[in-house]
Amino acid sequence: MEKISSSIYEFLSAYVPEEDILLEEPMCRHTTFRVGGAAQCFVRIGSMEQLKKIVPYLQQVEVPFFILGNGSNLLVGDKGYSGIILQIGDKMNEIAVEDNRIRVQAGALLSQVARAAKEHGLTGLEFASGIPGTIGGGVVMNAGAYGGEMKQVVERVTVMDRQGEVLELLTEDMEFGYRTSVIKNRPFVVLEVCLKLCEGDREEISAKMEELTLRRREKQPLEFASAGSTFKRPEGYFAGKLIMDAGLRGYSIGGARVSEKHCGFVVNTGRATAADVAEVIQEVRDRVKDRFGVTLEPEVIFLGDF
């Protein structure tokens, strides 16, 4: 993999502290699958102003880039990513609560926002307390669990286009659907999210979050690295049951395995490569298609060279 040019590095370092620009950064450190080769350049973003400079520039010079949150829905190839990763994470994660609204920068973890809601006696976000992604990523994919989803609580989303223009999208503009939004189809960068919740009882909110945590521990393979639920739910079916009925419980290639605990999860048992994970996902798709005629669509995003 070639190194980024000195001119690109100089441009980035004019707006970002050098300690936040990492060259040849292993992506296994930044995905919940804990696999993946090196990114050519990895930039920790700290402000909207940085994004307004960097994104239009990279677009103009035609350098590939990818916006990363917590890496909880991402599989990066073993050969890495020939481009620039812009991470919106813990350097851009402020949370502000006013009455029944929470204004959140895109890099805040959903679990952090759910805790903030609980502390202020606001209900409606309990479902998100165990989702490992950022709120930016959660809005992009309309993250959901246990009957709740982001579209129920999002009031507006502040985004930036690839030319650096900042726009505000209301809920009705977001085109929320099952694991999708307008941002999945248009190259917007989420900057900030405003949530509208309801007043509730703090003890009841806490009890609900604890109940959901217990359900996750009982039913999900949290002891292994994974990207959460690997496949979208096909209409009229459950992905996990289809995979189990296809005889794939515990199916493995290298260090990647279909979880015995929940067949909808492909997990890294500790020594998987990205290629192992990708091969298991493909084998699952092929066998379910052959057996039941159902095409499973991965929730996981594939990035880079495998």
Active-site annotation, residues: 179, 229, 299
Q: Residue 87 contacts by C-beta under 8 Å, 6 or more apart in sequence?
A: 30, 42, 43, 44, 45, 68, 69, 107
CA-to-CA separations, 253 to 40, 129, 258, 266, 296, in angstroms, rounded:
28, 32, 9, 11, 19
Cα-trace Rg, the chain: 20
Structure tokens at 256: 């990647």
DSSP H stretches of helix in the chain: 6-15, 48-60, 110-119, 135-140, 182-185, 202-219, 239-245, 274-292
Are 235 and 287 a contacting pair, CB within 8 Å? no
Q: What angle do CA 277, 280, 286 make, to 5 degrees?
A: 140
SS3 assignment, position 27: helix
